[in-house]
Structure 1
Amino acid sequence: MRMSTWIRQHLAALRALLVLTAITGIAYPVAVFVIAQLPGLHDRADGSLITVDGEIVGSSLIGQSFTDKDGNALVQYFQSRPSAAGDGYDPLSAAASNLGPESIVDTLDADPAKVKSSLLSIVCARSKAVGDREGVDGSRPFCTENGVGAVLSVIGPSDVAGDVSHPVQVVSVNEACPAKPFLATYKGLRVDCANPGADYSVGRIVPIIGNISTDTPVPADAVTASGSGLDPHISPQYAAIQVARIAKARNIPQDEVRALVDAHTDGRTLGFLGEPRVNVVELNLDLDKRYPFPG
């Protein structure tokens, strides 16, 4: 009797395994594949690939870098959002930088290979570069004029709250010597540049906001990477500050460039999800098609 019950239980389990395998392992995948081949869904199911003259040049779902071999922005193209995926937009290395808001102190070292920028300095450097390239004010709060984080280490005896009322040394921790610190003095003390390799964590780390407006023309998506590092979109605000450069490089009216940007701008999903966005890959391909770069 016990053996009979054991056999019946295992036969029932085997039947369930076979049925579920047929449904989830065969029927469902085949159904999804067939549905994906329907008109209107086929291109998306195949990866939303973009072809030019029969050659695959990218996907509308994955961004690309429009730079030269040295990483310099090509003046004739709209620039994409920064990417932290591998060397940039690598689908096999999709990831964020994993740097958070507390990453404000750079790792300085005499060996350039050991130098590591904080998230704050990365944002400051990108904002300055965008501002210089697009002819707008790229300065941001908590950033120096040279494009690094405006952060001090205030060293001295501290109270129970951690405040240093009588500092004995103040160091601009993100400006390596012999750089001239962004502040001459702080609390009556001269601000020193940082010696590469020195540890200033003994002091109180103080970010300095400065007198720069928070309403910067360089938007956040121009200086920060997306979570995946593959985002092909930028904000209309970032596209807008690039119009003048594109028009000059291609020798066309700015109104025509703006019209093309509008044509490649998608609104909020379902009218209320997310933000309006511009697909840079499709926009640049359309630019090349309509207004070939003379260079």
Structure 2
Amino acid sequence: MSIYKEISKAIRITFILWLLTAIIYPLFILFVAQVPFLKDKAEGSIVLNIKGEIIGSALIGQQFRSDQYFHSRPSTIRYSQGKQGNPTGVSGASNLAPSSPKLLQRIVEEANLLKDEEIQPTADLIYTSGSGLDPHISIKAVRQQLDRVARARKLRPDEILPFINKYTEGRFLGIFGEPGVNVLKLNYALDLDEFNRQQNR
């Protein structure tokens, strides 16, 4: 077999592989992503407020400091606002060793803040997640904050419980992990409820 036939064969194989990986596969994934029950996730699970403004993604944790909001899991990630108003940041943990004085200091500070708010510290209210992007906290962590949020919003705890139940997500495939509450969805639902109550007065 001549060298020219080998070169021709290599070019054809390269072209076929390029066609499969650069054209057909991406178009197939794009098509699958537009299936109705996947479309929201494929587009980033963006959450909009009542004005149609982007307030975040249901897939990415955010920091809430006001007493009116349930606090999310601590994160080593700090987001800045880019030119388009979209959060930017890099996923990852702090990589601090368990013996690190800096890590110990941060944990003590978080525990003291919770103690000042009369909240029993739970692991997910003190320790950061591995990715730094976890949008969920445990049901126990939410219940620990219930009284504080209810006082700040001038509501009874039992008026907030239906929202907690609504935004509690079960185990993945029914067996993996633990149930968790999506903090952004919960906090926004409470804001929306407050807005509707004010409109009805």
TM-score scaled to structure 2, two decimals? 0.88
Q: Deviations over 1:59-116 (max 9, x none)?
A: 10011122xxxxxx2111111111111358964322211112121x3xxxxxxxxxxx
Cross-structure match for 2:84: none
Gaps of 5+ in 2: 82-86
Aligned-residue CA RMSD (Å):
2.0
Correspondence for 1:121:
105
Q: Distance in 2 between matches of 1:32 and 1:262?
A: 34
Matched positions, count: 191
Give the Cα separation in 2 of the matches to 1:55 and 1:91: 17
Match of 1:64 in 2: 62
Question: Which of these two proteins has the greater Rg computed from alpha carbons?
Answer: 1
Deviation readout 1:177-211 (Å, 9 max, x if unpaired): xxxxxxxxxxxxxxxxxxxxxxxxxxxxxxxxxxx
User: Is 1:272 aligned to 2:175, yes or no?
Assistant: yes
Gaps of 5+ in 1: 67-72, 106-117, 137-216
Equivalent position to 1:249, from 142, 152, 172:
152
- The CA distance in 1 between the partners of 2:111 and 2:162, in whole Å, is 26
Q: Deviations over 1:140-161 (max 9, x none)?
A: xxxxxxxxxxxxxxxxxxxxxx
Q: CA deviation at 1:229?
A: 1.2
State whether structure 2 residue 164 is matched by structure 1 residue 261: yes
Q: Match for residue 288 of structure 1?
A: 191
Q: Is the 8 A contact 2:79 2:88 kept in 1?
A: no
The separation in 2 between residues aligned to 1:86 and 1:253, in whole angstroms, is 33
Q: Secondary structure at the match of 1:289?
A: helix
Rounded to whole Å, the distance in 2 between the matches of 1:24 and 1:39 is 25
SS of corresponding position for 2:36: coil
Matched, 1:75 2:67: yes
Structure 1 runs (4+) greater than 4 angstroms displaced: 87-91
Higher helix share: 2
Kindly report which structure 2 residues correspond to 1:74-153, keeping only aligned pairs within 5 A, or say none.
Answer: 74-87=66-79, 91-103=88-100, 105=101, 118-133=102-117, 135-136=118-119
Q: Could you give the per-residue CA deviations for residues 220-258 of structure 1, whole angstroms, max 9, x where no partner exists?
A: 110111112111111111111110011111111101112
SS at match of 1:269: coil
Q: Equivalent pairs: percent with the same residue?
A: 39
Assess if the C-alpha contact under 8 Å between 2:80 and 2:89 holds in 1.
no
Q: Secondary structure at the match of 1:291?
A: helix
Which protein has the bigger strand share? 1
> Amino acid of the residue matched to residue 63 of structure 2?
S
User: Separation in 2 of the partners of 1:34 and 1:271?
Assistant: 28
Aligned mate of 1:21, from 13, 18, 22: 18
